[in-house]
Amino acid sequence: MKKMPAFIAFLLLTSQYQAFSMNGFAISVAKGRGASSLSGNNTEVPYVGPMVKYTIANDAVARCDTVYKEHWTSWPVLNVLGSKIVFERYDTRGGADTIWENQYYKYLAVMDSDGKNCYDLDTMRRQFHRCLIAWPAGDYIFYIKNLFWWYGPGEYESKGAPTSEIWRVKYNDPSTRTKIFTYKSAHTFSLSLDGTRAGVCSLYDNMFRNIPHAFPPTSEPVQTGWDPLVWVGCGSYISPSGKYHHHFWDTDHTNLRINTWDLPKVLLATVNFNLTNDFAVWSGMPIDSIAGGAMEWGRWACNSDKWITMGAQNKITSQQPAAWDHSFTSTNQLLINWIDHKTINTSRNSKPAADGFVYKSDPGALWVAGGPGGETYEDVTGTWRKPNGDAVEVRHGPSRIDHSRTSLSQKVNVYTVQGKLLGSWDHGIISRALPTGTYVVAPASAVRSGTARISIGGNEVRQ
């Protein structure tokens, strides 16, 4: 594995950034399940229901508004400006309990982020499949249509042609629909903001393969040449910058792995997080109000490399069925900052609710405020950049971030990931002072604040 050079780690440790409260908004599809279930008990039930908007102020939900309830919705994605939402719209003309009997019409739709001006861009397959949507910077939306995502052993030979078609369309012109590429199978699909890097999770011959690659590909991407730390697992999502790739790496979807990568097939660093031991703890809430089941459909915020949206199942009882038995688990939308170690539970669904329903909220989408405006994203240091990577100057008020030029102390406090202080060292000798492992570091000086998570391998420090 190619390791991050020590001088890059030095720059990360001495960067002029601090942890700060997040403002912005999150979009999620919420549904109730119980006696009047929307969609039955099948494991592959999509999240369908009204669309809600959570306004976030200082790392907390300030208000919740239903922005669309005329029809069922699923798979919402925001543009980088936070001004538009693209999603699947279900027109349930056949009745509320007939989604599995194809008595509905389905469309790729777009609307303003306040729920106004909704219109359709494409007609989608009526039988359920995952509509995988990505909206990089610019006018074009990319999506997968007209596919079945499952191929079993030997079925390529019997079924022949590939099935997962990538299309694109301008958000304001349905006539621009064009097919771009056809994957053999696509379980998840994502794009960087500049549209040059993609992630696809292929599922065929009963094996998942997470494959970051250049987009659009000239041929079917394969995992050959990738470190297993990248391709083994489920769910392939590329961050806005294109530098980071996350996926589940265990069959229960309780562990999330984040890779730092480069083209063509270079793994620079990797770090692992756990739903119970990390994300639930960071929330400050009772662990069983968030954790206990699986995580689902984690996506990056539309304009931040720091933040990830995640669906996390509650633990219902000590005799809970297997994690994938969705009939007995409620699900919350979590907003996770993997750099500053924060988790915001927007939906706070109980287990079950007092009315007897088991409520579910999907991972949805997140837009982070505080940038300079326009098409920009936040990198892991808190710097705002254009999709091509150029830094953009931002003038923040004192409540946002302190950009004072006070130099970082040469000494940093080093903690275990559980929070135990190991000691203080000069940042230049951490890799020689400590054994291989993952640690959290923070400035020893009270003048500065903020943390960074590092891994030590060999004699180098990696992010």
Give the residue, 433 or 113, on which the prediction is more confident.
113
Model confidence over 299-321: pLDDT tens digits? 999 999 999 999 888 765 444 44
Extract the tokens encoding 394: 């931002």
Extract the tokens encoding 388: 């091509």
List Cα–Cα distances, 272 to 31, 189, 279, in angstroms.
Answer: 30, 21, 11
Confidence category of residue 414, pLDDT binned at 50, 70, 90: confident
Q: How far apart are CA 192 and CA 445, in angstroms?
A: 37
Name the pTM for this structure.
0.77
Q: Are 67 and 115 in contact (CB under 8 A)?
A: yes
Of 133, 128, 36, nearest to 364 (Cα)? 133
Helix (H) or strand (E) holding 229: helix 228-231
Q: What pLDDT, on the 0 to 100 scale, is given for residue 395?
A: 57
Task: Flag whether pLDDT at 457 surpasses 60.
Answer: no
Q: Which of 58-62, 136-140, 286-290, 365-369 is least confident? A: 286-290
List Cα–Cα distances, 35 to 32, 100, 101, 327, 380, in angstroms.
Answer: 10, 17, 19, 12, 44
Extract the tokens encoding 376: 């920009």
**CB neighbourhood size of 102 (10 A):** 13
Task: Flag whether pLDDT at 422 surpasses 70.
Answer: yes
Domains in the chain, start-ordered, CATH in brackets?
1-16+407-463 (2.60.40), 21-392 (2.120.10.30)
Q: How far apart are CA 380 and CA 400, in angstroms?
A: 16
Q: How far apart are CA 445 and CA 426, in angstroms?
A: 12
| Distance of alpha carbon 286 from the chain centroid | 23
Half-sphere exposure at residue 91, Cβ-oriented, CA atoms within 13 angstroms: 11
| Distance of alpha carbon 201 from the chain centroid | 14
**Amino acid occupying residue 223:** Q
Q: How far apart are CA 90 and CA 68, in angstroms?
A: 12
Of 356, 352, 315, 308, nearest to 334 (Cα)? 308
Model confidence over 342-380: pLDDT tens digits? 999 998 887 666 666 677 888 999 999 999 989 999 999
Q: What pLDDT, on the 0 to 100 scale, is given for residue 299?
A: 92
